[in-house]
Amino acid sequence: MEHFGGMKEFRLSLKCAIKTRATKTTKILERKVLRLYESIRQGMKSLDIEDIKEILRVEIRKQILHAHHVYEGTNRWSESGVSQSLDSVQLKESNLKDKLETTFRSYQGEIDSKLEEILTSLDIEVDKKSVDFKKLRNKFIDLYVLRYEWIKDLLNESDKTESDFKLNAQQKLGLDLFPELMNPIIENFVPEPKEPYLVKTDSTPKSTAGLGSLSSNIETFFERKRIEGKSIKEIGSDRTIAEDFIEIVGDIDFSRVTKKEVSHYIDIQTKLPTNRKKSPKYRDSNIQQLVEMNLSDKETQTPQNINKKLTKLTAFGNWGVRQGILTSNPFSGMKFSVKKQSRSRKPFTPEELKKILHPESYPKGSL
C-alpha cells in the first residue's frame, strides 16, 4: 500500500441520515475506488518465470554471502570455535525444519511478507493465489534450508566455491539460473563482426566468482544501504543498474575494474532502450538481442539517462575505495558532457493577447 503512505483502510463520513441517498452515494464511491485501483494495477506487471529467476538469482547471492559471513566470523583456528559454529548452525537448521513441520502456515506468512516487499519494489503485481507466487515462495523455502548446508560445507573446509553453491542451488531448484556456469566458453554476445561485451585484457580475468567478485561486493554494498535505512524500492532500482553493469562486463573481480570496462559499459548502454526491463516491447530480449536490433537514436537512451546510471555506479565505486578494494574510482569522470538546454518561451502574439484580455473570455463578475 505504498501508494497511500502505508494506509490499509479509509473511512469517510457521508453525513447523510437518508438511507437511500447514502446507499446511492456508496455505490458511486465504490465504482470510483475500483477505477482507481485498476489504474494503479495497470502500472504493474504480472509475475512470470523470468521474474522468478531474477529474484532467485539475487536471493541465492544473498544466501551465499550470508554463508561466507558466518564462515569469516568463526574462530577457525580453534577446534572448539569451529565446533560451536557448527552446533549453532545445526540448531538453526533444526529450528527451521521444526517450523516447517509444526507451524508451516505461519512460516509461509513470513515468506509472503518478504516476497510482497520484493515484488512491490519491482512494480510487480502481488497475487498470493497465483501459481507463480506459490512457486516462488516454495523456492525461497528451499533456499533457506539449503543455506545451512552451504555454511556447514564452508566450516568443514570443503573448498567449495561460490560457483559450486550456485550450481547446487540451480540443481535443487530445478531452474536454469546460471547458464554462464554451464557453458563458460561463451564470451561473445553478437555475431560477426564479433565484438565481445567483456573488455578482455591481460589484467582482467574472465570470472572470479569469489568474495572479491562484483556480485559479491554489490550484495554487501546494498545490504549496508538497507541497514542505513535506504528504501527497498530505491535499493531495487539501484541494484538493477549494478547488475546491468555485471551483465555487460562480466562478474569480474571488483578490484580489477578499470575505466576501460566502464567505457565499454557506456558504449553498450548507448545501444539500449530506456527502461528495457519494464517495457513490454523489450523486457523479453537480452542485451545481445537488443544490440542486434540496431535501434534508432529516438529509441535508445539519452546521455542524460546514462549519466544518471553512472551517478549510481560512482557511489558504488566510492564505497569500493573506502573499503580499500579499489585504489581509485573507475566510474569518476566518465559521464557525458551535456549542456543544460535553456527553454525560452515564445512571446504571445497580438492575436493571442486579444483573446486573453478580451472581457468576453471570462464569466461575468470574475474580473
Tell me the three-class secondary structure of 192-232, residue by residue. Answer: CCCCCCCCCCCCCCCCCCCCCEHHHHHHHHHHHHHHHCCCH
Residue with cell 537514436: 297
For position 200, what pLDDT does the model report?
37
pLDDT at 360: 64
| Percent share of the chain, pLDDT over 90 | 22
Question: Residues 15, 98: contact at Cβ < 8 Å?
Answer: no
Q: Phi first, then psi: give them for residue 93, nearest 5 degrees.
A: -65, -40
Asked whether residue 136 carries a pLDDT value surpassing 50, the answer given is yes
pLDDT: which is higher, 296 or 246: 246
CB contact at 8 A, 248 and 67:
no
Q: Given this model, what pLDDT does residue 296 score?
A: 83
**184 pLDDT exceeds 80?**
no
Please report the pLDDT score of residue 26 as a whole number. Answer: 76
Predicted structure pTM score? 0.43
**Lowest mean pLDDT segment, chosen from 19-23, 41-45, 253-257, 300-304:** 41-45
Answer whether residue 152 shows pLDDT above 80: yes
- pLDDT of res. 79: 86
Q: How confident is the model at residue 209 (pLDDT cuts 50, 70, 90)?
A: very low
